[in-house]
Structure 1
Amino acid sequence: MGGAAALEKLMPVVLAFGAGVLLARRKVVPAEASKVFADYAFLFAVPCYLFGNIYGADLSALFAWRAIGGYAAAAALAVVLVAAASALAGIREPRDVALRVMAGVQVNTAYFAVPVFITFFGTAAPIFPVLLFQVCVLSLVVISIMELGRSGPGAGSTGQKLTRAVGASLVTPVVLSCNAGILLNLLSVHVPTVVLDGAAFVGDSASPVALFALGLHLGGMGLDIRGTTREELTLIGFKCLAFPLLAWAVCGVLFGVRGEWLTYLVLIAAMPTPQNLFIFAQRYEVGVDLSASVVIKSSVVSLLLLPLWLQTVAG
């Protein structure tokens, strides 16, 4: 795919995202409304989209284990690299390290990858197995470390903290909808057409609403380029450049992934840091300012680099 074709494919993404930024900057729509739009997308529209598509998918083709194994290996290596770099920088507190691992390795699936994949490929199906791996493995590890580091009233015992961590990872609407779709698919349970049509109708709104919400959020907070710290630059560079290259090398060279799946995995790795990073930072009172900055700036950098990644990998 050439550069012009990639940019053309990206135009709907830029339009929805840019409209949010513009309307928030001009105060036509209050930036605070981004939470309402984001909650609608994350809690309702995206789960509807995921459920309907997973239920109707060919799971044997969807879960390409060589490809998913390659991505998992690349993510594990990336975790080690970020943790080692944090230690070399003098960051020893486990929660601080976990936050930086999440910033450098986790990807924004629901708000960014899903709409981008729908725009580029007409489907977000390749994201589903990576999304489950990310939530059920990577997020579980990060949340567990955060919970174990909590102190003070209500913190609870180690067992209670781990129970909260597992619960927080597995009961989000996105994960529940994916698991429900997989289970009903495997059991060949008949879901009424009216339910699937309703889920498809709502799910079609997930892509533009999620991007619009992200644009409102960015437009409200602003983008302080001059105030970017060296650590922020390092994390953003790793997330938007190093991790995709690592995924390309590990999946393509070591695991022999070729064709469309290699393109999918590299593009997924190139997605920005998820907004959940900022939510976790606020909840556990660690690195709040760093998290907000990395989420916003990695979103902008990722958006700018997507045509390059698509042209390079797919070409």
Structure 2
Amino acid sequence: MSDLVATVGKLAPVALVFGGGVVFARRKIIGADTSKAFSDFAFLFAIPCYLAGSLYSSDLGRLFDPRAIAAYLVTALLGMLAVGFWSRRTTDARGVALRIMAGVQVNTTYFAIPVFVLLFGDASPIFPIILLQVCVLTVVVIAVMEFGAGQEHSDTPALGAALRGVQAALATPIVVACYLGIAGNAADVPVPRWLLDALSFAGNAAAPVALFAIGLHLGGTGLRLRGAARDEYALIAFKCLVFPSLALLIGKYLFGIGGSWLTYLVLIAAMPAPQNLFIFAQRYDTDVDLAAAIVAKTSLLALLLLPGWLLVAR
């Protein structure tokens, strides 16, 4: 019982900032539409600063643990196959890709990084997963989305559009920051102390701003409990319950991972669906309401379940 109380206490800052955003939006103190400005600040500036400085200063040998990365990759691939096989009979290629993204990808930047910083004082275990998710999983989703769009509009070259989407994914500030941090670390490039301090100062704003932005978004959209899509709650259950369970079983029993890394893998898998799920749904005009509902509901449910997953993983 004392462990549960201690865990909940560690998550109290997350709940406070997240809940503050919800309250501010609901009471119209700050408009929910301003959540995009907060999100853009975190996504385009604060989080890249945090990633670049932290990766440069990290021990890459410890950070990029091959077994842990392989375990997460196997978990993600199995999840993608399960969701894809289950949803292929009820929707088109774009709908399948969107559901795979909802069930397997996680909100690393807006949710996982602030949670890890508050729980462990360090979000570095998430960095390999960010690269894996953006450079592999998101690229697959983009390619399928573009292929589906090309099939619907026969005059659109699907391959060219997919390649442009892949290039855009690899050129996002977060990925570029990871590349710079890793390259500088590996090449032992001297970086002035004042610059590392500046990156740390800007990066420290990422956690509260990102969580507050999610709270504002959720407070403005609310939770739609009725009129849910047929597979909405199945996807939410898979994301918040089945996927972290897979990470636990595969990491512990298939790869023999224990200790801190097992905890990290399970908690990363237990994070909510990514916020850009809604962006992709809008861009490709597919299941927009479903995407918005899954982002909001998994964010709230993940926050409630995190203390339990932390205890189970330990």
2 CA distance for matches of 1:232 and 1:162? 27
| Partner amino acid, structure 2, of 1:14 | A
- Corresponding position: 1:184 with 2:199: no
1 CA distance for matches of 2:259 and 2:126? 16
Deviation of residue 155 (structure 1)? 6.9
TM-score (norm 1): 0.96
The residue aligned with 1:18 is 19
- Corresponding position: 1:249 with 2:249: yes
| Partner amino acid, structure 2, of 1:52 | G
Residues 252, 262 of structure 2: 8 Å contact kept: yes
Aligned Cα root-mean-square deviation (Å): 1.4
The residue aligned with 1:196 is 196
2 CA distance for matches of 1:234 and 1:31? 28
Relative to structure 2, which stretch is displaced further, 35-44 or 225-234?
Answer: 225-234
Deviation of residue 225 (structure 1)? 2.2
- SS of equivalent residue, structure 1 residue 150: helix
- Corresponding position: 1:96 with 2:61: no
The residue aligned with 1:115 is 114
| Residues 208-219 of structure 1 aligned to structure 2 (within 5 Å) | 208-219=208-219
| Residues 235-246 of structure 1 aligned to structure 2 (within 5 Å) | 235-246=235-246
2 CA distance for matches of 1:201 and 1:299? 27
TM-score (norm 2): 0.97
Deviation of residue 156 (structure 1)? 4.2
1 CA distance for matches of 2:225 and 2:309? 23
- SS of equivalent residue, structure 2 residue 61: helix
Residues 74, 247 of structure 1: 8 Å contact kept: yes
> How many equivalent residue pairs?
312
Residues 108, 273 of structure 1: 8 Å contact kept: yes
The residue aligned with 1:84 is 85
The residue aligned with 1:234 is 234
| Residues 3-42 of structure 1 aligned to structure 2 (within 5 Å) | 3-42=4-43
What do residues 110-140 of structure 1 show as CA deviations (whole Å, max 9, x unaligned)?
0000000000000000000011001000000
1 CA distance for matches of 2:26 and 2:94? 34
Q: Which runs of 5+ in 2 are unaligned?
A: none
What do residues 164-208 of structure 1 show as CA deviations (whole Å, max 9, x unaligned)?
121121011111101110011111111111211111000000000
- SS of equivalent residue, structure 1 residue 149: helix
2 CA distance for matches of 1:110 and 1:3? 26
Residues 34, 217 of structure 1: 8 Å contact kept: yes
1 CA distance for matches of 2:290 and 2:156? 28
2 CA distance for matches of 1:177 and 1:255? 30
2 CA distance for matches of 1:285 and 1:179? 32
Residues 149, 158 of structure 2: 8 Å contact kept: no
Deviation of residue 153 (structure 1)? 7.9
What do residues 39-85 of structure 1 show as CA deviations (whole Å, max 9, x unaligned)?
00000000000110000000000000001100100110010100111
Relative to structure 2, which stretch is displaced further, 63-72 or 158-167?
Answer: 158-167
2 CA distance for matches of 1:261 and 1:153? 45
The residue aligned with 2:145 is 146
Residues 106, 134 of structure 1: 8 Å contact kept: yes
2 CA distance for matches of 1:148 and 1:228? 28
2 CA distance for matches of 1:291 and 1:2? 35
| Partner amino acid, structure 1, of 2:255 | F
What do residues 195-226 of structure 1 show as CA deviations (whole Å, max 9, x unaligned)?
11111000000000000000000000011223
2 CA distance for matches of 1:172 and 1:82? 27
Identity %: 54
2 CA distance for matches of 1:198 and 1:20? 27
Residues 155, 161 of structure 1: 8 Å contact kept: no
The residue aligned with 2:63 is 62
Q: Mark the CA change 1:288 to 1:259 in structure 2 (over 3 Å): closer, same or farther.
A: same
| Partner amino acid, structure 1, of 2:46 | A
Deviation of residue 91 (structure 1)? 2.1
- SS of equivalent residue, structure 2 residue 149: coil
Deviation of residue 311 (structure 1)? 1.3
Deviation of residue 160 (structure 1)? 1.5
| Partner amino acid, structure 2, of 1:81 | A
